[in-house]
Amino acid sequence: DAEITQSPRHKITETGRQVTLACHQTWNHNNMFWYRQDLGHGLRLIHYSYGVHDTNKGEVSDGYSVSRSNTEDLPLTLESAASSQTSVYFCASSAGDRRQETQYFGPGTRLLVL
């Protein structure tokens, strides 16, 4: 069955380190998204991509980067991790060319920055 996976599921890192969170989907979806979820803030969009080599900044993109070299993967990189980036990160994907096609979410990555 097609699916969307995230790895690692849990990560502890130190302030200043570079961290990369992986997202892989097997639906062949054009659109992929990264969100962070914090208490009191719900889900906030970090970056998104509407196709290979396309990337766009979301609401809270500072300190994060993404690249889309193929359809299946959209890795999220924290260039220099900060304690404020401690959060749960969700990746999602959707098909089609309408930006609000149904999004399918991964299980999340819980990141702790010490």
Residues that bind another protein (CB under 8 A): 33, 35, 40-45, 48, 58-59, 90, 92, 98-100, 102-108
| DSSP codes of every residue in 33-87 | EEEEEETTTEEEEEEEEEETTEEEE-TT-TTEEE--SSSSB--EEESS--GGG-E
Question: To the nearest whole angstrom, how small is the minimum distance from the Cβ of residue 16 to another protein?
Answer: 29
Minimum CB distance to another protein smaller for 3 or for 79: 3
Question: To the nearest whole angstrom, how small is the minimum distance from the Cβ of residue 37 to another protein?
Answer: 9
Question: To the nearest whole angstrom, how small is the minimum distance from the Cβ of residue 17 to another protein?
Answer: 25
Residue 112 has, within 13 A of its CA and on its CB side, a CA count of 5
